[in-house]
């Protein structure tokens, strides 16, 4: 088995799509594995940086990054070459992150939960609203709430945090939220408005997305 | 402030926008849409974050750590290092389809490099990779299956402890660290080796009994939440390799960390 070398391998000048093509010619060959290894290595740093923005710590980011490349390996046969490989890689990474955030949203111990509960008036239900929404319902709910309740910035922050898993510190940096609590204050106020929007929808005979008593979608 | 969800551009389009791959008119249309649709503005930022991947000096050490883990853990990229004999692949609990259990033994008189080479067979590698990643879970390192009996093994070294996540009460490694493995028939001594995930050997020792106490200085230099690999080679009375283990991974996880 010849070693793979990123620096002097002729394939270093090859396009991503060319490497995918080379891999597909004979996936079981050493040449194919080398092509795939080279392709992966081109994106290790990019995926690592991206994962760190979404993860709670370095180990979590490592798991996320590894999960992305595992999914790439599983799904590579679906890459049609209609767009750049990097575009396709992004959609894979986005999908992995969405699934992880989805799972995390349903856990009972989110860091934000305490702040949200403190902000809720006594007697409100304790389950965070967003934990009862899958990604698509959250998206629809945010679109609806944007019309009457949410500010665009609140919707963006809620979407990136709850749907995609962006951390509060990263959101605070990305949106230059320099106040003491950063993005957390926006998340708390956004959730309260979202709750209000749900209550109005439920009371007005809407479709009940996230309305009290609807429970979490499967 | 928002539009009908059905008219929103796809994530692929926002990635293409960030890459500069869209025609001018389409790019302008996406920008205009994002200006009036908060969630698409968020999607645009999300795609841009991925494509631009701005360097943050504060996290460059973490990036290097993750890249090293990817190099080591992904079977496709571990081929190079394995053949160079500098790094071993991350152990898989499903990496031994032939035996049906992970981290078991497979060596006889091969050297460290040579026992790894068979994994270069592409089909086996791909299968092992798939099985590994499907079964690895998300909560941490998978522990070894419990030993089936207490007797010695004939042609392999089975590592017993430490394997997987080792809970510690403080944010420091435990006060004592002992490597243990199942004894091998005919072994005169055992060579133990500890390395980090990049393959850098941190410590090695040759012992007579099937356990090795890690020196305090080394133990104190280990870091919590970091994966380490260790291996054992059984040697006969002429110091020739008799059997060796696959590498086992472990890390110290402070108990306050979530599982």
B14, B30 contact by CB (below 8 A): yes
Q: Which residue did the predictor score with more confidence, B149 or A37?
A: A37
Please name the member of A63, A87, A140 whose beta carbon is closest to the beta carbon of B19: A87
Instruction: Name, in order, each residue with C-beta under 8 angstroms of A186's C-beta and a sequence gap of 6 or more.
Output: A153, A154, A157, A158, A171, A177
Please name the member of A41, A93, A140 whose beta carbon is closest to the beta carbon of B77: A41
CB burial of residue B256 (10 Å; 0-12, 13-18, 19+) = exposed
What is the DSSP secondary structure assignment for residue A62, as one 8-state letter? H
Which phi and psi (to 5°) does residue B168 adopt? Answer: -130, 150
| Cα A47–Cα A50–Cα A55 angle in degrees, nearest 5 | 115
Q: Is omega for the bond preceding A42 within 30 degrees of 0, making it cis?
A: no
Strands B164-168 and B248-254, bridge-based pairing = parallel
B239, B151 contact by CB (below 8 A): no
Is the ipTM here above 0.90? Answer: no
Give A37's contacts in chain B (Cβ within 8 Å).
76-77, 79-80
pLDDT tens digits, one per residue of A117-161 = 344 443 344 455 555 567 777 778 787 887 778 888 888 898 888
User: HSE of B43 in the Cβ direction (CA atoms, 13 Å)?
Assistant: 27
Cβ contact A4–B66 (<8 Å): no
Instruction: Give SS3 for B20.
Output: coil
Write down how long chain B is: 259
* Spans in chain B with pLDDT lower than 70: 1-6, 75-155, 170-171, 198-199, 256-259
Instruction: Name, in order, each residue with C-beta under 8 angstroms of A7's C-beta and a sequence gap of 6 or more.
Output: none
pLDDT tens digits, one per residue of B206-229 = 888 888 887 777 777 777 777 888
Q: Nearest-CA residue of chain A relative to B86? A: A3
Q: Nearest-CA residue of chain B relative to A153? A: B38
pLDDT tens digits, one per residue of A5-30 = 333 344 457 899 999 998 888 877 88
Please name the member of A34, A140, A174 whose beta carbon is closest to the beta carbon of B45: A174
Q: Which residue did the predictor score with more confidence, A197 or A42?
A: A42
Instruction: Name, in order, each residue with C-beta under 8 angstroms of A191's C-beta and a sequence gap of 6 or more.
Output: A116, A119, A128, A129, A130, A158
B190, B206 contact by CB (below 8 A): yes
State yes or no: pLDDT of A213 exceeds 80: no
pTM of the model: 0.54
Q: Where are the alpha helices (DSSP H) in A76-133?
A: 85-105, 111-119
Q: Of A161, A77, A95, nearest to B15 (Cα)? A: A95
| Residue A213 falls in which region: left (phi positive, over 0), alpha (psi -120 to 50) or beta | left
Instruction: Rank A198-202, A205-209, B23-27, B200-204 by mean pLDDT and report only the highest.
Output: B23-27
A198, A212 contact by CB (below 8 A): yes
Cβ contact B258–A84 (<8 Å): no
**Percentage of chain A lying above the pLDDT 90 cut:** 19
Q: Indicate the angle between helix axes A30-54 and B75-84, nearest 10 degrees.
A: 120
A139, B5 contact by CB (below 8 A): yes
Cβ contact A86–B15 (<8 Å): yes
Cβ contact A53–B49 (<8 Å): yes
How far apart are the C-alpha atoms of B133 and B112, rounded to whole Å?
Answer: 24
Q: Which of B5, B11, B15, B64 to mutate to test the interface with A (most CBs of A within 10 A)?
A: B15
Q: Which of A54, A89, A90, A158 to mutate to test the interface with B (most CBs of B within 10 A)?
A: A90
Q: What confidence score (pLDDT) does residue A49 get?
A: 92
Distance from CA of A152 to the nearest CA of B (A): 5
Determine which of A165-169, A197-201, B103-107, B217-221 has the lowest per-residue pLDDT on average.
Answer: B103-107
pLDDT band of residue A88 (cuts 50, 70, 90) is: very high
């Amino acid at each position: 088995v010849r070693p793979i070398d990123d620096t002097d391998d002729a394939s270093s000048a090859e396009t991503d799509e060319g490497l995918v093509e080379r891999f597909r010619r004979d996936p079981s060959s050493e040449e194919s594995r080398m092509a795939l290894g080279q392709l992966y290595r081109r994106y290790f740093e990019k995926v690592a940086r991206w994962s760190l923005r979404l993860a709670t710590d370095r180990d979590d980011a490592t798991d996320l990054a590894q999960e992305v490349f595992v999914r790439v390996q599983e799904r590579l046969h679906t890459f049609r070459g209609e767009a750049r490989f990097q575009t396709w890689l992004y959609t894979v990474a986005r999908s992995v992150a969405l699934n992880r955030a989805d799972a995390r949203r349903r856990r009972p111990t989110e860091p934000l939960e305490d702040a949200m509960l403190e902000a809720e008036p006594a007697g409100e239900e304790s389950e965070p609203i967003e934990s009862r929404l899958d990604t698509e319902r959250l998206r629809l709910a945010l679109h609806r709430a944007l019309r009457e309740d949410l500010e665009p910035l609140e919707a963006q922050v809620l979407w990136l945090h709850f749907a995609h898993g962006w951390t509060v510190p990263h959101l605070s940096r990305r949106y230059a939220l320099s106040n003491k609590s950063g993005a957390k204050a926006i998340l708390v106020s956004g959730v309260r408005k979202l709750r209000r929007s749900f209550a109005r929808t439920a009371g007005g005979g809407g479709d009940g997305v996230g309305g009290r008593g609807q429970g979490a979608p499967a | 402030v928002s539009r009908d969800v059905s008219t929103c551009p796809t994530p692929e389009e926002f990635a293409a926008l960030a890459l500069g791959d869209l025609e001018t008119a389409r790019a302008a249309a996406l920008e205009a849409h994002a200006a009036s649709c908060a969630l698409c503005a968020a999607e645009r930022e999300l795609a841009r974050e991925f494509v631009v991947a701005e360097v943050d000096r504060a996290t460059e050490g973490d990036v290097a750590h993750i890249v090293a883990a990817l190099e080591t853990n992904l079977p496709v990229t571990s081929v190079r290092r394995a053949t160079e004999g500098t790094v071993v692949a991350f152990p898989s609990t499903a990496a031994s389809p032939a035996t049906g259990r992970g981290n078991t033994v497979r060596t006889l008189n091969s050297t460290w490099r040579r026992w790894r080479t068979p994994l270069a067979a592409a089909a086996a590698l791909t299968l092992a990779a798939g099985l590994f990643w499907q079964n690895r879970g998300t909560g941490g390192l998978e522990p070894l299956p419990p030993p089936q009996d207490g007797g010695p093994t004939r042609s392999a070294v089975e590592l017993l402890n430490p394997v997987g996540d080792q809970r510690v009460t403080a944010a420091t490694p435990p006060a004592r660290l002992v490597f243990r493995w199942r004894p091998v028939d005919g072994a005169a001594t055992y060579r133990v080796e500890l390395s980090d995930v990049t393959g850098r050997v941190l410590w090695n020792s040759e012992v007579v009994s099937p356990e090795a106490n890690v020196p305090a200085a080394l133990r104190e230099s280990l870091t919590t939440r970091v994966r380490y690999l260790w291996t054992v080679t059984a040697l006969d009375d002429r110091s020739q390799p008799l059997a060796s283990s696959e590498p086992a991974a472990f890390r110290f996880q402070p108990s306050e960390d979530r599982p």
